[in-house]
Homo-oligomer: A and B are copies of this chain.
């Protein structure tokens, strides 16, 4: 009987997704549990292990079919040691040897990887990047995460916390980022900063259909801004165009380093799909030099909420 199944465990600040994955990228069984950060890391790994064992029992899958596990988590971390360092989203998990604790409980070897790197790996193996060898990913959520695959290898950074593309500085002395820097990509293109920047524009007294949204909902979302941009509202159009231009600047810079075949956009901000993509593409071709042909393509992530589970598991395929 084949034993090529792997656990993928995707830890977030609120919830943990886990699933059993085969080497074709099928998620055979899966579950979601609360992170309950306040209960600490020992409690969490216990519940993860119990959930995994429970799934095997319920689904009548013999445990010897599982070879290993991959766990994706917010960083910073040491992949080599398998420990979390000082993860902002997981207070109380500092210096926790999560990989080895899980290995004891699951009785399998495993790997620890940055959560966005794991998602990037999933897109590379099974999603938008399955036909390329070199790609970059920008995950445009509350923050901006990054991932880089160069010649079929994940670029982790020399200390395991590289590919932090959201914190590349796109404007010297630009907008303040929560990381402490000024002018990060994140402070222009993350969902929270898109909303913030739009509100700043509205506060200047510019006319906009978004004012009605705020009056009605007492709340402005990134999604609403993109919708109003599609409908031609000037303020929203300007913001989306500026986000697209900043993403294109980052794409040009990554092109000059890695020459990726593909730049994949993910996260909430990318949900408008081709509307954002076409603007990024246009700015990229506009900004890029003429010395070599500008050949990078742009796409939206193809995998659903399981990407983190899939990627974490897939990172083990060649290792165990």
Closest B residue, CB atoms, query A166: B256
In-complex Cβ contact of A257 among B165, B259, B288 (8 A): B165
Of the candidate stretches A53-61, A153-161, A189-197, A226-234, the one touching chain B is: A153-161
**Is A320 close to B, CB under 8 A?**
no
Q: Is the CB of A182 within 8 A of B287?
A: yes
Closest B residue, CB atoms, query A135: B158
**Is A180 close to B, CB under 8 A?**
yes
Per-residue CB contact flags for chain A residues 168-183 toward chain B (1 = under 8 Å, else 0) read 1111100001011110
A85 to B291, CA, bound (A): 10
Q: Is the CB of A169 within 8 A of B291?
A: no
Closest B residue, CB atoms, query A168: B253
Closest B residue, CB atoms, query A260: B158
A158 to B181, CA, bound (A): 30
Of the candidate stretches A96-104, A105-113, A244-252, A265-273, the one touching chain B is: A244-252
Among A88, A288, A289, max chain B CB count under 10 A is at A289
**Is A134 close to B, CB under 8 A?**
yes
**Is A162 close to B, CB under 8 A?**
yes
**Is A261 close to B, CB under 8 A?**
yes
A187 to B181, CA, bound (A): 24
Q: Is the CB of A157 within 8 A of B287?
A: no
**Is A305 close to B, CB under 8 A?**
no
Contacts of A133 in B (CB 8 A): 158
Among A76, A164, A180, max chain B CB count under 10 A is at A164
Contacts of A76 in B (CB 8 A): 291-292
Assess A181 versus B258: contact at CB under 8 Å? Given A172-B249, A253-B169.
no
Contacts of A163 in B (CB 8 A): 256-257
Contacts of A259 in B (CB 8 A): 157-162
Q: Is the CB of A179 within 8 A of B289?
A: yes
Contacts of A168 in B (CB 8 A): 252-253, 256-257
Closest B residue, CB atoms, query A261: B158
Q: How far is the CB of A280 from the nearest CB of chain B, in Å? A: 14
**Is A151 close to B, CB under 8 A?**
yes
Among A155, A160, A170, A292, max chain B CB count under 10 A is at A292
Q: Which residues of A contact B (CB under 8 A)?
A: 76, 85-86, 88, 133-134, 148, 150-151, 155, 157-165, 167-172, 177, 179-182, 245-246, 249, 252-253, 256-261, 287-292
Could you give 28 example pairs across A and B, Cβ below 8 Å? A86-B291, A88-B291, A150-B158, A157-B257, A157-B258, A159-B292, A160-B259, A161-B259, A161-B292, A162-B258, A163-B256, A164-B256, A164-B257, A165-B256, A167-B289, A168-B256, A169-B252, A169-B287, A170-B172, A171-B172, A172-B246, A179-B289, A179-B291, A181-B252, A181-B287, A181-B288, A181-B289, A257-B257
